[in-house]
Structure 1
Amino acid sequence: MSSKRSTPRSKIDEIKALRGLSRQTKTNIRNRGLLLGSTLTTTLNSIVTNSDITPSNNSLVITKPSVPLLPLSKLITYRSLRERRGNPGLNLTNASLNSSLTSNSTVLNSSQRSVRIPRPPSKPREEELQKTKIDPQIEFSSLQKPISAGTALKLFRESLTNYEQSEILEYKEIYYLGFKSSKSGTSQGPNYGFDDEKGNFKLYKGDHIAYRYEILQLLGKGSFGQVCKCFDHKAKQNVAIKLVKSKKRFRHQAAVEVKVLDTLKKYDPDNANNVIRAEDHFIFRKHTCLVFELLSSSLYDLLKSNNFEGLSLSLIRRFAIQIFFSLKFIQKLNIIHCDLKPENILLKQANKSGLKVIDFGSSCFESEKVYTYIQSRFYRAPEIILGIPYSYSIDMWSAGCILAELFTGNALFPGESEAEQLQYIMEIRGVPPEDVLAMATRRKVFFNSSGSPRLVPNSKGKIHKPAAKDIRDEIKTDDALFLDLIIKCLEWDPGKRITPDEALSHEWILEGIPKPPTSRPTTSRPFLNKTLRGLAVNKNHNYKLSN
């Protein structure tokens, strides 16, 4: 027997069968790939044939392909497609169409409905953005107030100056911002550009004060600074704000004024003593700011509106009662006003007789007198001119001058200088008594060694001789009691001058009081006090200007 091992016939047949099956499988796969490629070509040709290119918007509209598309992910598994390089050999003459087909932006929904492929959005024009931009003030007005400084910076930084973006962090509550186009402090100058050369705060309508008050208009200005009308966005009411100059000497006097005003407010909780009421005070950009109730016009404005022809005695009496009540009140608090004049007495309301004494910027406590040059010249007491120690009585001298002016329409002693002012006084009241001159530290300025006045002509060359005129001729009234009250206010000796309490008991004042019941005497002090207070506080009558 041969040792060579032979392969069984059945095994050889099995191997041949397997090889034949393998060749048949490869042939089938190749044929299926060609079939699928042909199907894809047919489908795409159908898409191209049924496509609509819209020239107006350069967009492609694909409508209802005739043969469902087979996802590309299913095709790339076949070798016939793996061997393909580049895009399918399609006959596409439109470049944008070809780009659309080969990009990922072509999207077909599940139901194969028409889909428009939009163009990329163009950059919006700047003017269109401006139209849609919300005005910051309108946006701010829509917010609930107050807002925090952080919120203000986040939402309205562009409406704030560089200075304000830092300053606003000092404020916990923001009620108003103002307009960027109307703000100070944006240029070089005194106090970071907020002040003018005189130390006054630059006011712009619509600008803010302390992120709460809106500046409306200027009411007045003087040596101290300015007063402006503002709208309080917290209290929702108009107020008057006094902005004191930022210079050091004015800030010092403002501190005294704040102390006086706080005292007045403390002891007048019912706001019933005919003096101005300070609602608040604070420092804003180095300026002391005092917030007051907004009143009406002054007595000077009232005279001006009447062509300086004077007022009726009945109206003057109502004014006098209130003036004396205010002086009585501040005297009890040891306060000297130091600048009483028609401009500093304001009506509470237009065409009403109620009034208040304002402007305590020159005021002082009797025990803390600092300045010797005080009072406006026309209403300056002789002790101030002569250098005699002064007290509350200087305000009563001013009150007497005011009563005379309210009746005549003109100042009683309108001196151009301090020397002429004293001459005007002596022209009507005569030379001061020797005991008064003995107290004068400035006696030699106005009198010679023999005690005779040094008469100096004014700018027009006129000299006022002592005792050359009678007060009755100057005031020209038949009301002797009215004249008597004025004369007692214009007493040379401060110690003999009438006091506010005595003035309220003067016969001319009492003449205007309604008659009491017969069971009660006219001179009953409780009755007088009650009646006078009613005239001074509770009654705010309409008035007529003249008799």
Structure 2
Amino acid sequence: MSAAVHPVTSHLIPHYPRQSLNGISHNAAGPSVMPNASPVTTRKRKRAHQYTVSYSEVQEVDSDGRLREVIVIEDTPPPPTLSPATTHNGGYSASYQPPVYSAPIRTRAAARAEAQALSSSSSSVVTAPAPKKRKRDHQEEVRAPAAKKLAASSQQTQVLAPANSWDSRSAAATDDTAKGSSCDDKEGHYIIVPDDMIYRRYRTVRLLGQGTFGKVVEAVDTQTNTRVAIKIIRAIPKYRDASKIEVRVLQKLKERDPLNRKNHICLVSELLGMCVYDFLKENDFAPFPRHHIQAFARQLFGSVAFLHDLRLIHTDLKPENILLVHNDYRVVNVPIPGKRNGATKPKRILQSTDIRLIDFGSATFESEYHSTVVCTRHYRAPEIILGLGWSFPCDAYSLGCILVEFYTGLALYQTHDNLEHLAMMEMVMGKMPERFARAGARSKPEFFKDGAKLDWPKAKATRQSKKEVRATRPLADVIPPTDHINKQFLNLVQKLLAFDPNQRLTVREALAHPYFSLQIPEEV
């Protein structure tokens, strides 16, 4: 599922109130208590009745005579258009030839036989992408590599919702059933088999990616002869439950975006290009041209502002969750910094800057339960690390980190330790404001000393950790204000990376920043 840019007029929903560190927001109607202002205690997730999704549960008998349960969420089919991510060659990439549909649909018996063979041996067709080389927080759950992730434009996503898996592979979504099903592996993941049929309509092609939630596969819609991506949730209760929460988020987006088409527990969407992180990686982490960064930023801020206007916080903004619509690029030779002999190296320049924001699995309604820790480490705001509660400003902070990564090609913060992370933030942005630091010291006294001073380095800090913090440069060195474009870009990022969320620029305000009115010439 992705969010397109839909500017929402201010009269629809007022701007969210500024959150103060003591949990009181101030607006025209007077102070009101913010639900997430203090560290969150464990409690049951609240369900808002106005966001529930209507669906019907039916039972079907598959071709093997086995009974399966299906949840059907009514929606209209996607329009029969080709994915703009493909290299146009009859609608498919050069490496892919559309299957001929005159042959009989393969049976589940054949699928199970091939699945058993594949589960015991590796296959290039179903091998997940290699994990990327970023530092990871050892205590955090390892996330899926993002070679290609499920994406759905708000114009093209359809709803299909098998309750457990697509058929008798998981007749009941329990660990025991998942382990006992010949079409699921012992982890509850659906075993992907090329040319398998899903929901009597989608013929699988290959695995695109795998993560904690399940798998994403490329498939062909046999009704429209178009390529799609299908997100298949693991046959484990907690992941099924989490996916139903995502349904509510997508339903809310559809209420304000009527052309949106969506599905669950299977999300079927148009097939887009690679994620921005993978493009950076394949481009040897070369930064994007400045005019491309502005185009990316305008779309991202528009999408996130749309979410915020609907009282939704994305909570997991990062380059892996931003997909290119088109992968096409041209190659230019650019000078190698520090080389005096005129040596050059190739650099990929995108032909199109169209992008889509994806992955609403962690999106949270402002008025509902807020888990204590959100956001992937590299893009996590300081108020989250300090347990001060979080709201819309955490998305703004993540966007600031993403913009820096677009500009340099590398993540701004390379760390997996909370105190080290805070120390790096102070190297980038200067010392924390005293008021914010005192609030942090009350919440996390182990990170502070002498009242409101960050306790870094501690005696147990390693030499390497100290070295990495010292190597972290101030933001004005990362984005040198050498011309008017960089000065405005630096100013925007500084306001997004402010320590105090109460002083941070909102995403809607960021769209009005002078940076977006600049005419940036094309460059490489």
**Which TM class, normalised by the smaller chain length?**
0.5 to 0.7
Structure 2 Cα separation of the partners of residues 466 and 447 of structure 1: 19
Q: Say if 1:319 and 1:353, in contact at 8 Å, map to a contact too.
A: yes
Residue 298 (structure 2) pairs with residue 321 (structure 1): yes
Secondary structure of 2:466's aligned partner: coil
What aligned pairs does 1:8-27 form with structure 2 within 5 A after superposition? Answer: none
Residue 508 (structure 2) pairs with residue 473 (structure 1): no
Q: Say if 1:426 and 1:465, in contact at 8 Å, map to a contact too.
A: no
Higher helix share: 1
TM-score, scaled to structure 2: 0.60
CA drift at 1:258: 0.8
Q: Say if 1:278 and 1:293, in contact at 8 Å, map to a contact too.
A: no
Structure 2 Cα separation of the partners of residues 226 and 169 of structure 1: 20
Q: Say if 2:179 and 2:187, in contact at 8 Å, map to a contact too.
A: no
Q: 1:256 aligns with which of 245, 257, 272?
A: 245
Q: Say if 1:308 and 1:409, in contact at 8 Å, map to a contact too.
A: yes
Structure 1 Cα separation of the partners of residues 497 and 464 of structure 2: 27
Q: 1:462 aligns with which of 461, 466, 469?
A: 466
Structure 1 pair 176–266 and aligned structure 2 pair: CA distance change class (3 A) = farther
Structure 1 pair 467–493 and aligned structure 2 pair: CA distance change class (3 A) = farther
What aligned pairs does 1:100-499 form with structure 2 within 5 A after superposition? Answer: 160=63, 164-167=64-67, 177=106, 180-183=109-112, 184=115, 185=169, 190-270=179-259, 278-281=261-264, 288-351=265-328, 352-440=352-440, 442-448=443-449, 450-454=451-455, 455-456=457-458, 457=461, 460-463=464-467, 469-476=473-480, 478=482, 479-499=486-506
CA drift at 1:313: 0.5
Q: Which has the higher contact order (CA 8 A, sep 6+)?
A: 2
Gaps of 5+ in 1: 1-148, 154-159, 271-276, 282-287, 515-543
CA drift at 1:182: 3.0
Q: Say if 2:437 and 2:453, in contact at 8 Å, map to a contact too.
A: no
CA drift at 1:435: 1.9
Number of residue pairs matched? 345
Structure 2 Cα separation of the partners of residues 244 and 422 of structure 1: 35
Higher strand share: 2
Corresponding position of 2:157:
none
Q: Say if 1:243 and 1:289, in contact at 8 Å, map to a contact too.
A: yes
Q: Say if 1:334 and 1:365, in contact at 8 Å, map to a contact too.
A: yes
Higher mean alpha-carbon deviation, 241-250 vs 437-446, is at 437-446
* AA at the equivalent of 2:110: S
CA drift at 1:502: 1.4
* AA at the equivalent of 1:343: E
Structure 2 Cα separation of the partners of residues 326 and 388 of structure 1: 26
Structure 1 pair 340–176 and aligned structure 2 pair: CA distance change class (3 A) = farther
* AA at the equivalent of 1:204: V
* AA at the equivalent of 2:429: R
Which entry has the higher C-alpha Rg, 1 or 2?
1
Gaps of 5+ in 2: 1-58, 73-103, 116-168, 171-175, 329-351
CA drift at 1:464: 5.5
CA shift digits 1:189-212 (9 cap, x unpaired)? 615234333332222222222332
Corresponding position of 1:132:
none
**Identity over the aligned pairs, expressed in percent?**
34
CA shift digits 1:90-128 (9 cap, x unpaired)? xxxxxxxxxxxxxxxxxxxxxxxxxxxxxxxxxxxxxxx
CA shift digits 1:204-249 (9 cap, x unpaired)? 2222223322221111222222211112223432111112223232
Corresponding position of 2:517:
510
Structure 2 Cα separation of the partners of residues 309 and 460 of structure 1: 26
